[in-house]
Amino acid sequence: MHNRSAAIFAYALILLALAACDRAPKGIIPESKMDDLIVDLCKAEAYMELNPAEFSSDSSKMILKQSVFRQHGINQKDYDRSIEWYANNMDSYRKVYDKAIRTLDSERKSLNKKSKEDDAKVSLAGVRRTAKGYYPSTGDSADVWIYDRTFTLTSNYRRGYITFEMSPDAESKNGDRYKLSLKKLGFGSRFSILLAAEYRDGCSSLVARNSSFDGWDEFSLQCDSTREARRIYGYIRYDVRPFSVAFIDSVSLLRTHCAPAQYSSFNLQKFIPNKQNAK
């Protein structure tokens, strides 16, 4: 009997400790559930942003959001009341937010791992899979991107760069054209993207611009047909809003050989001469 009483007392202490860890008062979505709700709402927002035709009206967006609420056993008033409380209790909000981000990042890594495994299987056939089709890894038209294709960016990083650099392979030719494609979901975050070629004579060609809208974006760089490229490089600079998250997905870099019809289209491209040669 004594052992049973001790066990009950220990169990009660555990329940009290768990309750103490969760500061949300009665009527507020507890921290232990709020992080899962944030994860599902982020997924819903991502789905709507990536499928604008299906969610062109506020009512269609609200239907999806309400379905998430029903899944968690709450309504709009519960959510609004809880958000107001968390906004005034930032320690609790940071706690649930950080846990939600870790969950999203873990899922992203799992998906990225599976994508790499699928890419490895496809590569056995000599091609690479991108979101816009299948391209060979070598040849006249080839996807030469060698880095991760998906990125999860959180406000813990806030500002930073995703950099890339590669040397042209044996299939490369003077006058090649490179097209960087990526899909962004920033929830108001800002991006700046640079795609450039450095030639063996020290000159460079580049295209750079800000990119703030969500969805597909493409950047094309036309290399000079009279110069040999030494490296292709660039960056994706990001500035994530506080307490937010951003996603970059389906990155590819398609290289095609010189096409006379496209060669004159430089898309606000800049040419930087070698300063030493200019002297």
Q: Which CATH architecture has domain 127-278?
A: Sandwich (2.60)
Three-class secondary structure of residue 36 per DSSP: helix
- The span from the CA of 176 to the CA of 195, in Å, is 13
- The span from the CA of 227 to the CA of 199, in Å, is 6
- The span from the CA of 201 to the CA of 273, in Å, is 9
Give the residue extent of every domain in the chain. Answer: 2-106, 127-278
Per-residue confidence in pLDDT tens, the chain, 279 aa = 455 555 544 444 444 444 445 577 888 898 888 888 888 888 787 777 767 777 778 888 888 888 888 889 999 999 888 888 888 888 888 888 888 878 887 777 776 666 555 555 544 444 444 444 444 455 567 888 988 888 878 766 567 889 999 998 888 999 999 999 988 877 778 899 999 999 999 999 999 988 777 778 888 999 999 999 999 999 999 888 776 678 888 899 999 987 766 656 566 788 999 865 544
* C-alpha angle 260-194-47 in degrees, rounded to nearest 5: 100
The amino acid occupying position 155 is S
Rg (CA), the chain: 25
Return phi, psi of residue 42, to 5°: -65, -40
